[in-house]
């Protein structure tokens, strides 16, 4: 029996990269997964490649009405929601002085408000069921200062704090909430850093960037009943970058 046998999971930003890797591992371990994204063609293609236990829905995480529509659809189709992975996010290398208000607002809307709306919307059916796991993808930028990506770092610190507050609020209802803090991961987002891979790897004590599947393994653990006593905490996948 798989570690997520018969669980229903919703993953945001799952059309590619880390979200797609999480979806693949969940399905391998027996879950039914609803992938969401704004990249509709790619999202539908990824879901089709993952097989009959994967489906795709459009979701702009900054829109409360869209969140409600998607969660309502998941409940209508599957009867419950066991796992939410708030994976969707955007990243740009811009220091504080050069961060425009438009960029700030966009970053907050997707990386921070999107996580808040996801937790808020998923909490209701999870509380009714008396169980659930919410996993918020933060970053090592939510654990230390980030002078080259001010707005991104601010949102990831916010996700860290929101996770702790939600964990305390939802614990009496049997719902767990944790954050995962990846370091440098080999996905499309890596291209935003600039420079060559050798320069980036020199900053990592383990001497290499991580594969998306390595983050997915931690997310899988938190989604599973193996993590039944883990809530309100940070799980770091960074090769000792912030050690």
Active site (catalytic) residues: 152
Residue 4 near residue 68 (C-beta atoms within 8 A): no
Encode 50-82: b = buried (16+ Cβ within 10 Å), e = exposed. Answer: beebbbbbebbbbeeebbeebbeebeeebeebb
Beginning with the edge strand found earlier in the chain, give each strand of the sheet holding 234-237 in spatial order: 54-58, 32-37, 8-11, 83-86, 132-137, 175-182, 234-237
- 91: three-class secondary structure by DSSP: coil
Phi-psi region of 51 (alpha: psi -120 to 50; beta: other; left: phi over 0): left
**Residue 87, CA distances (Å) to 18, 28, 36, 37 in order:** 8, 19, 10, 10
Q: How crowded is the C-beta side of 61, counted as CA atoms within 13 Å? A: 33
Name every residue whose Cβ is closer than 8 Å to that of residue 150 and which is 6 or more positions away in sequence.
94, 95, 96, 99
DSSP secondary structure string for all residues of 109-129 = IIIIIHHHHHHHHHHHHHHHH
Residue 202 CB neighbour total at 10 angstroms = 9
Instruction: Give the number of other Cβ atoms within 10 Å of residue 109's Cβ.
Output: 17
């Amino acid at each position: 029996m798989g570690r997520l046998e018969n669980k229903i999971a919703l993953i945001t930003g799952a059309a590619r990269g880390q979200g797609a890797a999480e979806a693949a591992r969940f399905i391998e371990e027996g879950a039914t997964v609803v992938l969401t994204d704004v990249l509709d063609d790619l999202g539908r293609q990824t879901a089709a490649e993952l097989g009959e236990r994967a489906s795709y829905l459009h979701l702009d995480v900054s829109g409360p009405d869209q969140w409600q529509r998607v969660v309502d659809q998941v409940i209508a189709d599957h009867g419950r929601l066991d796992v939410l992975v708030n994976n969707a996010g955007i990243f740009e290398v811009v220091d504080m002085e050069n961060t425009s208000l438009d960029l700030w607002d966009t970053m907050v809307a997707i990386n921070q408000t999107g996580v808040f709306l996801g937790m808020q919307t998923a909490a209701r059916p999870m509380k009714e069921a008396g169980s659930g796991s919410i996993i918020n993808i933060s970053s090592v930028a939510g654990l230390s200062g980030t002078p080259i990506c001010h707005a991104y770092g601010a949102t990831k610190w916010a996700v860290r704090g929101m996770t702790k507050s939600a964990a305390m609020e939802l614990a009496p209802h049997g719902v767990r909430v944790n954050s995962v803090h990846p370091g440098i991961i080999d996905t499309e987002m890596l291209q935003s850093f600039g420079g060559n891979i050798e320069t980036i790897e020199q900053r990592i004590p383990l001497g290499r960037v991580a594969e998306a599947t390595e983050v997915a393994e931690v997310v899988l653990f938190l989604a599973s009943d193996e993590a039944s006593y883990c809530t309100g905490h940070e799980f770091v996948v960074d090769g000792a970058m912030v050690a």
